[in-house]
Amino acid sequence: MSIISKDIQKAVALLNAEELVAIPTETVYGLAGNIFSKKAINAIFETKKRPHFNPLIVHISSLEYLDTIVEYVPEKAKLLAESFWPGPITLVLKKKNTIPDIITAGKDTVAVRIPNHPVTLELLKQLEFPLAAPSANPFNRISPTTPQHVEDYFKYNIKMVLDGGACKNGIESTIIGFENDEPIIYRLGSTSIEAIEKIVGKIEIKNHKESAPVAPGMLARHYAPKTKTVLSDNLSETISKYSGKEIGVLSFQTEIKDRSITFQIVLSKKGNMSEAASKLYNALHTLDRQNLDVIIAERFPDYDLGKSINDRLNRATKK
- Catalog residues that contact Mg ion under the rule CB under 5 A: 135
Smallest distance, Mg ion to C-beta of residue 50, A: 8
Query: Could you tell me the smallest distance in angstroms from the CB atom of residue 270 to Mg ion?
Result: 28
Q: How far apart are CA 128 and CA 109, in angstroms?
A: 22
- Shortest distance, position 57 Cβ to ligand AMP, whole Å: 5
Q: Which does 188 bind (CB under 5 to 8 A by kind): Mg ion, ligand AMP, none?
A: none
Choose from Mg ion, ligand AMP, none: what does 140 bind? Cβ within 5-8 Å by kind: none
Tell me the three state secondary structure of residue 133: coil
Q: What backbone torsions phi and psi does residue 251 show, to the nearest 5 degrees?
A: -120, 160
Helices (H) and strands (E) in the chain, counts: 11, 15
What does each C-alpha distance from 69 to 93, 95, 113 come to in angstroms?
9, 6, 11
Chosen from Mg ion, ligand AMP, none, partner binding at 110 (C-beta under 5 to 8 Å by type): ligand AMP
Can you give the binding site for ligand AMP, defined by CB under 6 A?
A: 54-57, 92, 104, 107, 109-111, 134-135, 172, 175, 177, 186-187, 214-217
Residue 150 backbone phi and psi in degrees, to 5? -65, -45
Beta bridge partners of 264: 249
Nearest distance, CB of residue 187 and ligand AMP, angstroms: 6
Closest distance between ligand AMP and the C-beta of residue 267, in Å?
A: 21
Distance (Å, whole) CA 270 – CA 303: 16
**Bridge partners (DSSP) listed for residue 58:** 112, 132
272 binds, among ligand AMP, Mg ion, none (CB under 5 to 8 A by kind): none
Query: 13 vs 220, which CB is nearer to Mg ion?
Result: 220
Q: Which of residues 177 and 248 has its CB atom nearest to ligand AMP in the complex?
A: 177
Reduced to 3 states (helix: H, G, I; strand: E, B; else coil), residue 287 is helix
Interaction partner, residue 87 (ligand AMP, Mg ion, none; CB < 5-8 Å by kind)? none
Distance (Å) of CA 251 to CA 2, 233, 236? 33, 11, 11
